Structure 1
Amino acid sequence: MKISEKVKNFKLFILSKNDSVFFEKGDTLFANYTTNSIADKEWQQLKKFESQFEKLHDNFDTEQYLLKTKGYIKDSLQILLVKLISIKKLDDKKLLDKDIKEHTEYYVNLLDELKSSEIDPSLFLYLENKLSLLSREKTSKKYTISLVLNGLTVIAIIILVILFARSRKSSPKTTTTPLSKQESTIKELIISGKSNKEIANELFISISTVKTHISNIYSKLNISNRKELVVKK
């Protein structure tokens, strides 16, 4: 038998140490066999499902393929190893990254299941790396968005401060109510050092009237005592 013929005559199986496979006589090698391996049976069904897409080339609809494949994986596959094989097919077709971004939670949960199983971690390391990369990208994106929002907040605060300062600067200053003639006279007498009694005698008014005028003077000039009046003269 030629080497090329030997290479063609092979078939892969998924068997555990407790599984068995029995081959029946036939014209083609490995054509007829029976096995008690649930994983192998599920894998063979997966290959039949995928065979319907093998002849699609020019009219290959990736969205439809993803939709059908994901639906088949979720609804028909129970064995983790077979799920992993089907996902590797998506990766081979350069479709896994897109699907991970759209259905991140599904793949995170699947990875947790794989880590809890007895499957060799090296078989799903590629999936773990892809999820890790996606997580870093999302974190980086959130950080960038946070920086932008913080920057916009600072700019908004600066603009508000500038507008507030301009509004205060442009607003008309509060005009001081002018002193009456009598109040101006009393003010000058206070500055000259006169007491309330001396002012009352000089202007021929009562001390209480002097006090009322002084109170009005303080209020109009926004002061509270004689010292401030002398300083502000």
Structure 2
Amino acid sequence: MTSSIHADLSGRRALVTGAARGLGASIARRLAGAGAGVCLADVRREDGEKVCAALTAEGHEARFVELDVRDADAVAAVVQDLEQDGWSPDILVNNAAVDVTKPIEHLTADEVTRVVTTNLLGPMYLCLALYRRMVARGEGHIVNILSTASNRTWTEAGPYAASKTGLRAFTHTLFQEAQRDCLGVGITGIVAGGMETPFITERFPDADTSKLQAPGIVADAVLCALSVPATSAMPEVVVVPRNEPSWP
């Protein structure tokens, strides 16, 4: 699926988490296609390196880094390594996310911790590492991928909804602080509805994919947010399939 958004990100460098497949890979491809250098971060090394190799073969600037966003020290180290390599990201897309589809009564503490740490604390760790650097440079953009679960939840989604609701609140706060700290730094939360990606299809193999949207649509929303003129801001975008059952 080709992009319907025309953006020029030449000279920009983007760090995308969860970029080995699904939405993250789509976002990485869109950013690279718009001229940005892309660093793909994921725990799935083999898949991530394949996406990276494909982008490089197409003539794009791409690199892969194995990263578990739950590890605050690892996050800080990756950002520092990129900076020391002369490759400081001025775009951050927090996309990595997991879910455990179980009733609350059957959840374990480890499962809750994994979901909340990946979906909420991971993005916060990355923002802690990169936001201050963006403010110091006077420019940059952070995009946090949210979910309709940050607005309205459903059964068997307790930790996921809690994590995405928390990330939405954090994103709104970060936007307000960027308005105060540096108008050159953009903050955008993208509320994404159901997509035809492994995040859905692996957990729900019988899902009606006709009711899901292509991840490229949400990736286009990222490009759109990054293309807003400096005189305006796009703090939040909602992108859902026409028949999305969980919005509003």
Q: TM-score, normalised by structure 1?
A: 0.25
- Normalized per residue, the structure richer in strand is 2
Greater relative contact order structure (CA < 8 Å, 6+ sep): 2
Q: Say which structure is richer in helix.
A: 1
**Which TM-score applies when normalising by structure 2?**
0.24
The higher radius of gyration belongs to 1
